[in-house]
Structure 1
Amino acid sequence: MELVPHSPTSGVYPASDDYVHAMEVRNPERLLYVAGTMGLDERGTPGASLAEQLDLIWSNIRAILASAGMTVDNIVRLTSYLRDPAYAEANALARVKALGGRVVPTTAIVAQTLDSSWLVEIEVIAAA
């Protein structure tokens, strides 16, 4: 599999340092679509703070990816659903840290989550 990032420098607004406009995935053997993942512990209890929920989300994503023989290095697309726009910076910092600075196409949407204690939900697409 080959990943080819695409962020044109003309004809579209510039990409920031933490994402690319598009990721071309050439010759993948497998695709994994991960449902929206919340900051819940193994008992289903949400983390008490935004930081704790972001840590739990990324721990949960790593566990889900591992169950398919993948890691965060296989993520090719990410969407974050934020309960409040004020969470955008912390979410972006957590993503950059979790991906080790690797950039992928990403979108953040402010939305009402199904449970008011869920502050952030993240879904990913991974390829191998």
Structure 2
Amino acid sequence: MPVIKHNPEALFPPYRNYSHAVEIKGDSTLLIISGLNGYLKDGETMPDSFEEQGDIIWQHIGTILKSAGMDYQNLVSIRTYLADPSFDEANVQLRIKYLGDNKPASTVICCQLLDNKWKLEVEAMAAK
């Protein structure tokens, strides 16, 4: 069963010992997307607002999905880490914007993230 790493050049450079996503091919395909944050392609610049970080993350997810021949409708599971529970409604609005009618399994966790400037981090799984 082939395992394909996805690190599209349109995203920020992956951290050490990390891939942005891993695709597992067989009779079906499972794409596992690592937790992504709102860094721009340079890997250093990140906007301050939750909404801007969220849009960048969801665009990164879209780029990774496309690299595996998928789109947002292929998402089957999403795990979102929020730096503060007050971001919940804005997070829901982002999901509505990018997922449309797709309603994958989802978990939202409020916690301290690795870097204080991160407002959220999103990991996902997609299948086809």
> In structure 2, the residue corresponding to 1:39 is in which secondary structure?
coil
> In structure 1, the residue corresponding to 2:90 is in which secondary structure?
helix
Q: What TM-score do the two structures reach when normalised by structure 1?
A: 0.76
Question: Residue 39 of structure 1 corresponds to which residue in structure 2?
Answer: 38
**Which amino acid in the other structure matches residue 32 of structure 1?**
L
Q: Which of 1 and 2 has higher RCO (CA within 8 Å, sep 6+)?
A: 1
Structure 1: runs of 5+ lacking an equivalent? 1-26
Q: How much has 1:28 moved relative to structure 2?
A: 6.1
**Which amino acid in the other structure matches residue 76 of structure 1?**
V
Q: What TM-score do the two structures reach when normalised by structure 2?
A: 0.76
RMSD: 1.4
**Which amino acid in the other structure matches residue 114 of structure 2?**
L
Question: Residue 5 of structure 1 corresponds to which residue in structure 2?
Answer: none
Q: 1:12-91 counterparts in 2 under 5 A? A: 29-44=28-43, 45-91=45-91
- 2:121 aligned with 1:121: yes
Q: Which runs of 4+ in 1 moved over 6 A?
A: none
**Greater Cα radius of gyration, structure 1 or 2:** 1
After superposition, give the CA deviation of every residue in 1:82-120 in whole Å (9 maximum; x if it has no partner). Answer: 000001110011011100132111110001111111110
After superposition, give the CA deviation of every residue in 1:10-69 in whole Å (9 maximum; x if it has no partner). Answer: xxxxxxxxxxxxxxxxx9610000000111111122122111001101111001111111
Instruction: Verify the 8 A CA contact 1:28 1:127 in the aligned structure 2.
Output: no
- 2:116 aligned with 1:111: no
Q: 1:28 to 1:77 in 2, by over 3 A?
A: farther
Tell me, in whole angstroms, the C-alpha distance in 1 between the residues paired with 2:125 and 2:55: 19
Q: 1:28 to 1:110 in 2, by over 3 A?
A: farther
> In structure 1, the residue corresponding to 2:32 is in which secondary structure?
strand
